[in-house]
């Protein structure tokens, strides 16, 4: 009896925080990854990087969730030569996203669909020919929640679309993040 009580207490200490953390309705996260240009953007810039901060609201009982994401993407100009070696195109965004958790049983993964709308601000480091603009845009993607090395995390890939002037801007963002 005493051994059983000791094993149950040890299990509660080791697994209790993980189970309680998985039930929090509001989470804050940070993430990053590559930014892969597509369409017209691909002609002017190389693959870049991005950072993301997020606030997520979801429950275990409902498959729908809400996320507010703030991201910064940075792309280096391609074929820049020595004169433009340090020049870049950046894209900042603030988006409101809805998530739909796909039903999965007996799986360590929790896949979800994500889509949303928001404001995208483009800037570049060139002094002429590049005016900062803010336009509305949208994104759509697929991801999964993970529990890796004691951390709640996520892995996702999204397609983003907005405009710079009269030009459509499209890029993909494979992302890995940690939730707190």
The answer as to whether 11 is a domain residue is no
Quote the distance between the C-alpha of residue 119 and its chain's center. Answer: 15
Q: Residue 152: give its domain's CATH number.
A: 2.40.160.20
The answer as to whether 122 is a domain residue is yes
More confident residue, 167 or 175: 175
Structural domain containing residue 169: 25-179
Per-residue model confidence as pLDDT tens digits over 109-163:
899 999 999 999 999 888 776 789 999 999 999 999 998 778 899 999 999 999 9
Distance CA 103, CA 93 (A): 30
DSSP bridge pairs for 112:
101, 143
The answer as to whether 18 is a domain residue is no
The answer as to whether 9 is a domain residue is no
Are β-strands 151-164 and 133-148 bridged in parallel, bridged antiparallel, or unpaired? antiparallel
The answer as to whether 12 is a domain residue is no
Q: Is the dihedral of CA 140, 141, 147, 150 positive or negative?
A: negative
Residues 96/119, Cβ–Cβ less than 8 Å: no
Tally of domains in the chain? 1
The answer as to whether 48 is a domain residue is yes
Work out the percent of the chain whose per-residue pLDDT is above 70: 82
| Cα angle for residues 80, 52, 180 (degrees, 5° grid) | 155
Q: Say which residues have a Cβ less than 8 Å from residue 69's Cβ, sequence separation at least 6.
A: 52, 53, 54, 93, 94, 95, 97, 116, 118
Distance CA 133, CA 167 (A): 12
């Amino acid at each position: 009896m005493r051994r059983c009580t000791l094993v149950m207490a040890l299990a509660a200490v080791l697994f209790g925080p993980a189970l309680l953390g998985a039930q929090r309705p509001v989470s804050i996260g940070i993430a990053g990854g590559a930014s892969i240009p597509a369409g017209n953007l691909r002609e002017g810039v190389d693959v870049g990087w991005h950072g993301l901060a997020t606030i997520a609201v979801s429950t275990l009982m409902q498959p729908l969730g809400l996320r507010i994401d703030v991201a910064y993407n940075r792309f280096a100009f391609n074929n820049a030569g020595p004169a433009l070696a340090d020049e870049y195109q950046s894209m900042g965004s603030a988006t409101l996203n809805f998530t739909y958790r796909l039903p999965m049983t007996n799986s360590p993964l929790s896949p979800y669909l994500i889509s949303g709308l928001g404001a995208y601000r483009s800037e570049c480091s060139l002094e002429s020919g590049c005016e900062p603009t803010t336009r509305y845009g949208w994104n759509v993607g697929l991801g999964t929640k993970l529990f890796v090395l004691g951390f709640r995390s996520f892995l996702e890939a999204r397609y983003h679309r907005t405009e710079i002037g009269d030009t459509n801007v499209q890029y993909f963002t494979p992302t890995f993040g940690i939730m707190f």
